[in-house]
Chain A
Amino acid sequence: MTADLALVWPELILTIGGLITLMLGTFAGDRQVGLYQLSSLLTLAAAAAAVVALFGIETTVFSGTLSVDSFGGFAKLLIYAASFVCIVIAPRFFNGGMRAEYPTLILFAALGMGIMASSRDLMTLYVGLELNSLAAYVLASFMRTDERSSEAGLKYFVLGALASGMLLYGISLLYGFTGTTDFAGIAKVLGGELNIGLIFGIVFVLAGLGFKISAVPFHMWTPDVYEGAPTPVTTFFATAPKVAAMALLTRVVIDAMGPAVGAWQQIVIFLSLASIILGAVGAIGQKNIKRLLAYSSINNVGFMLVGLAAGTQQGVEGVLTYLLVYMLTTLGAFLVVIQLRDANGNQVESIPALAGLSQRRPGLAAAMAVFLFSLAGIPPLFGFWPKYLVFEAAVNANLVPLAVAGIVASVIGAFYYIAIIKTMYFDDKSDTEFPKGGGAIVEDAVITASALWLSVIGYLFIPVLAVLSASAAAVLF
């Protein structure tokens, strides 16, 4: 038991750091933003360092309920990095309304997500998921006085509870028909004959997880929550929990349901195509940039699922690379959204107001254009590469029709991305002024770095990414 504790250092650090941050907020007061922000950032950095230190160890702890492996490590690094950025950008956004609960909740959410990414038992899966979700519900309604924020929190909670119910029902069925909650044990039973109960269990578990990754048809909450939640929180939702839920889904599908390919593959294919198409079509009419990015995230999840549907190691590598690139792009895009403030300092979220942005803020518009072209997967931007990888995995797994349908639907997606670029570059200037300055250096640095990385420099990192994602994916096979 004590030996096991030495292998879960990241989780321990996050727990302790989260409690310290909470105490700091309580005793030093909400005004001491610098103090509790620093403690939370240090906690995340230390947790990330612990993950790096544990890299290469492949084992399970706590009677096989939690795994320590490079797959989980890869996901955790992404999660911690996204959480880090989301804490950094918050104080300026809340503009005096910042409270210590914000970093605390993010730390606990990160803890839950780390557990999700490394769980190998249905019970730890559920505990991690709920720890993350509870923190997320509160975060969504973090601006108590803002109607939209409260509404977002409530919607997220109600629909999240429904999804948890479905997931639990699926878990109970799987447990009932296999007699175990252990992934490996479930896989052993699924390798035999499938009965109706097991299939129902698989369907319900996938439906519950589909909600968490906001795959169509379980996506209804996403645009509303993304729009209503404060932008740093939306940034968080669009990045870290996506990584965690996708990693969890991958692990469940490959580890626990691996032998029953026929049962889950068609579900994943359906989720994938539905997400790609609906995410693209739904985005077309949107007038709010946050809602649009919500649809974009639905669309991108669909592409990740293409890689997952392949069910091969190559496919999982594609999913992991996709997660990394998607996370960077989304972070960048939301940071740009945060910088969009009019002359009075109010957030601007309306897309028509962005007209002529390229003439008022050329740098910001250029960065946004890079992110959008990258999300659309147009080479030479780096967003092309993960798309290539997942489609390659699908073609190699003899899923050519899926690849063709997905890639053709990606053209629909390109339409709305280039429509925003049209607004920013081709349209005449709108009345909204976007005064320069005021942006924190960190924000500018993150935007610049990710835009540069996504432009062409990213291609130079393909060998590194390939090694990392291959070692992470190899754990599951």
Chain B
Amino acid sequence: MSGFPILSLMLAVPLVGAIACLFVGDKMSRFVALGATLATFVLGCILWANFDIGGAQWQFTERADLFGRFQWALGIDGMALMLIMLSVFLMPLCILASWDAIKQRVGLYMAMFLIMEVVMIGVFMAQDLLLFYIFFEAGLIPMYFIIGIWGGANRKYAAFKFFLYTLLGSVLMLIAMIAMIAEAGTTDIPTLLNYNFPPEMQTWLWLAFFASLAVKMPMWPVHTWLPDAHVQAPTAGSMILAGVLLKLGSYGFLRFMMPMFPDASAQLMWIVFGLSMIAVVYTSLVALVQSDMKKLIAYSSVAHMAIVTAGLFAFNQQGIEGALIIMLSHGVVSAALFFCVGVIYDRLHTREIDRYGGLAVNMPAYALFFMLFTMASIGLPGTSGFVGEFLSLAGIYEASSWVAFVCTTGIILGAAYMLYLYRRVVFGELTKDDVKAMPDLNAREWTIMVPLAAVALWMGVYPESFLAPMRGDVTTVVARLAPAKPAGDAHLAAGKPKTAKPHGETAHGSSHAGGVQ
């Protein structure tokens, strides 16, 4: 497998598909897009199968000196691999989700989605700072079109807000990148990861990166573009926005800010913790009072992302691994929840929670899946949400018990708003005539639900499949952060075992004394 440019191929397949979609007409473009995304997914699976866990940090590296000043440098580590898998897994489902819902300008729509895919996986593959920035920013254009052309009633406002908000954040990061390149004299990310920037410079660079990534994340108080964008975007747009685009921010935290500016990260971690604590509680409360389903899930995304940031800045193995699992889990679960909304939106053309009720009666299969994803979002043990939340909260507790305390209330509030949503939509009396007339899931919707549900359960039951490739990279980051890491307020230490009073057999007592406790 070595030497074959599989990463470039993964970028080329959807790109070629996108160009083809523009020219083959509306009907064919659906199949072209599905074919291209499935092919990319297969390539992704090959990538995962050939990824050497515990091997070199950067694998499948490619380097071509195409651009003079910077390179076409690709390569992945475990974290990037998992996020790429998330993207290529969601993409065919997004195409399927918009199979019937999108009726106008289908070719352009499919092309935009495929470009979106190129850009997203490009971000995770880029090994060159400028290449990363180009991919990172390029996502604005297709998303602008997706929201603006195929969105809801207020789509134009939402598209503008999305574009300008995220652009304003990103440009500051560009200035920081220029300063980094000037200081370190290279655009190579693996080299920059081990470059020690002067601490006072780190602070400024950190703040500039933070301005950009916090908007992408999004963190409170710059999250306001997200509910607008989500509500107005078409179903598949919301799926990809929540599923992958929000992960770009946390990926940037983990890939750039923490390992490149460890001192500043430690110095300014109070900002992240403070904003995360506010976000968890505040956006959960806001979610509780929403009457629009998509808005509710959008606010819940902000709350989940806040636990991710807090987990990352715990600076320890559990916290970061937990944050990564939340990222993956939220990617699957929030996409699934947005799809659940899309399913009933396609039937009734409203997102008002009050317009529904009693769906459990006439749509039992739908109710089952919706229940599963609701539980996964809440973090019920056995679902993906539990693993991530438990790990990250354990990590946060080690760093600061207060932050852990506040973040945990977010979990409780999360259960409140999700269950409340579920009760109002699915339970209750089935009184409304138009709701009664809604048919249950069709074959296409089953095809989308089943893989999402399978992955959510897989990640909940055996998260090791997902954690194993990332563990080494997390350890590297933790080691890089170790010198700067402030002491946590939880002084975890192994307790002193008391020797149990001997009763019964003596052999039992002796084995206890030498035990692990």
Contact = CB atoms under 8 A, between A and B. Distances in A.
Do A and B interact? Answer: yes
B468 interface: no
B144 A418 contact: yes
Interface stretch (B168-176, B259-267, B446-454, B503-511): B168-176
Interface stretch (A72-80, A192-200, A388-396, A437-445): A388-396
A358 B130 CA distance: 31
Contacts of A407: 171-172, 174-175
Contacts of B156: 422, 426
B149 A425 contact: yes
B137 A379 contact: yes
B133 A395 contact: no
A403 B172 contact: no
B163 A414 contact: yes
A403 B182 CA distance: 14
Given A378-B137, A411-B171, A392 B67 contact: no
Contacts of A388: 130, 174, 178
Given A378-B137, A422-B156, A462 B67 contact: yes
Contacts of B66: 459-460
A190 B68 CA distance: 37
18 contacts: A362-B108, A378-B137, A378-B141, A380-B137, A380-B138, A391-B175, A392-B182, A395-B175, A396-B182, A404-B172, A407-B174, A414-B167, A415-B164, A418-B160, A421-B144, A459-B67, A460-B67, A462-B67
Given A380-B138, A422-B159, A463-B67, A408 B144 contact: no
Contact of A426 (B140, B149, B167, B168): B149
B110 to A, nearest CB: 14
B347 to A, nearest CB: 26
Nearest to B140: A378
Contact of A391 (B67, B134, B145, B174): B174
B349 interface: no
Nearest to A459: B67
Interface of A: 358-359, 362, 373, 378-380, 384, 388, 391-392, 395-396, 400, 403-404, 407-408, 410-411, 414-415, 418-419, 421-422, 425-426, 459-460, 462-463, 466
Contacts of A392: 178, 181-182
B344 to A, nearest CB: 26
Contacts of B155: 426
B184 interface: no
Question: Which of A396, A418, A421, A466 is packed against the most chain B CB atoms within 10 Å?
Answer: A418
B69 interface: yes
A233 to B, nearest CB: 32
Interface string B94-116: 00000000000100100000000
B237 interface: no
Contact of A400 (B137, B167, B168, B175): B175
A410 B159 contact: no
A358 B107 CA distance: 13
Contacts of A395: 175, 178-179, 182
B17 interface: no
A370 to B, nearest CB: 10
B504 to A, nearest CB: 73
B385 interface: no
B414 interface: no
Contact of A410 (B68, B69, B171, B178): B171
- If over half of B's interface residues share one DSSP class (helix, strand or loop), that class is named, otherwise mixed; here it is helix
Contacts of B149: 425-426
B252 interface: no
Nearest to B174: A407
A411 B175 contact: no
A463 B68 contact: yes
B472 interface: no
Contacts of A418: 144, 160, 163-164
B227 interface: no
Contacts of B137: 378-380, 384
Contacts of A358: 108
Nearest to A396: B182
B104 to A, nearest CB: 9
B148 interface: yes
Contacts of A391: 174-175, 178
B138 A379 contact: yes
Contact of B68 (A362, A379, A404, A466): A466
B175 to A, nearest CB: 5
Interface in B120-165: 130, 133-135, 137-138, 140-141, 144-145, 148-149, 155-156, 159-160, 163-164
A418 B156 CA distance: 11
A400 B205 CA distance: 12
Those 9 A-B pairs whose CB atoms lie nearest each other, nearest first: A463-B68, A379-B134, A462-B68, A407-B171, A380-B138, A426-B148, A395-B178, A379-B137, A411-B168
A264 B442 CA distance: 71
Nearest to A389: B69
A388 B138 CA distance: 15
A415 B181 CA distance: 29
Contact of B145 (A425, A459, A460, A462): A425
A426 B158 CA distance: 12
Nearest to A410: B171
A373 to B, nearest CB: 6
Contacts of A459: 66-67
Nearest to A421: B144
A425 B160 CA distance: 13
Question: Which of B68, B137, B159, B160 is packed against the most chain A CB atoms within 10 Å?
Answer: B68
Given A414-B164, A459-B67, 13 more contacts: A379-B133, A379-B137, A380-B138, A384-B134, A388-B178, A391-B175, A395-B178, A396-B182, A407-B174, A411-B164, A411-B167, A460-B66, A463-B68
A380 B164 contact: no
